[in-house]
Amino acid sequence: MTDATPGGVDLLSCLDRLQLRFDSAAPLVATDAHDDPAVLEWSCRAVLPLWDPDDDEAAAENSRLLTPGVSLADKNEGDGRELTILAMSGITLDLWHIGRIYDSLDSRDADYEHFAPLFNKSGDLGLHPDLEECLVNGAHVVIIDRARIAPAWRGLGGVGRLLISRLLRWVAGRAAIVATHPYPIDIPIDERDDEAREAREKAPVQRCWQSLGFEPFREDVWVMQPHLRAHEDAVKRLEATFSPYL
């Protein structure tokens, strides 16, 4: 397991310094399909604060953590800088109150069209009949649109999966299901007609989500039921793996 940046900082030793940031918004009143009060748009990040150091050694480590690839973005926050290690975004649908599910999806980014197979008007509350049993756990459907981790943190034994699981504790607390579309988003749009490359790079992305308890449903949409043992056991294994650093 490689755990150091090119500059020599042990990234895993920074795990216990990471913090989670959340931002979400939903309109109060519906004006069109995009502004449905039953749809919450959210984004969340795992960040590493670099507060003003007290000694030269800490200052040197901060400097090395600014190596390219360690952060997706950095910005000033309070008295220091904040590095974004992982970013995830999506929407949450409240099936008890949403009026037009398909219109709400179509009015957003084209990526959300992938999730139409989750819903079927013949099913209870608009959810596909094959997923209806999930409604005993709640009426929220969480859709993960994007999840991205900084390159230097990849290949460390599952740091990205650990961070996603911690973020999902808050994002998917009342969810009947969580859905995602595992896809290698680093492939440029104008190169996505290369089917061999797409299949090659899609496989490890799918294995990542599968290891968190996600299973294929329909048309490249994968789903996970947060209350099931598959997800719970996966999270416990990750936490055991990284327990020396947490």
Please state the three-class secondary structure of 45-91 as a single string.
EEEEEECCCCCHHHHHHHHHCCCCCCCCEEEEECCEEEEEEEEEEEE
Residues of the chain with pLDDT under 70: 1-9, 33, 77-79, 123, 187, 191
Q: What is the pLDDT of residue 160?
A: 95
Beta strands in the chain (DSSP E): 19-25, 39-50, 73-77, 80-94, 140-149, 175-180, 215-218, 221-224
Taking the C-alpha atoms of residue 88 and residue 95, their distance in angstroms, rounded to an integer, is 22
Q: What is the pLDDT of residue 5?
A: 63
Q: What is the pLDDT of residue 52?
A: 73
Q: What is the pLDDT of residue 77?
A: 67
Return the percent helix, strand and coil in the chain, to nearest 5.
40, 25, 35
Q: What is the pLDDT of residue 234?
A: 93
Q: Which residues of 118-148 are buried (b: 16+ CB within 10 A; e: fewer)?
A: bbbeebebbbbeebeebbeebbbbbbbbebe
Structure-block tokens of residue 186: 């680093």
Q: What is the pLDDT of residue 55?
A: 74
Taking the C-alpha atoms of residue 61 and residue 195, their distance in angstroms, rounded to an integer, is 42
In single-letter form, the type of residue at position 16 comes to: D
Q: What is the pLDDT of residue 2?
A: 54
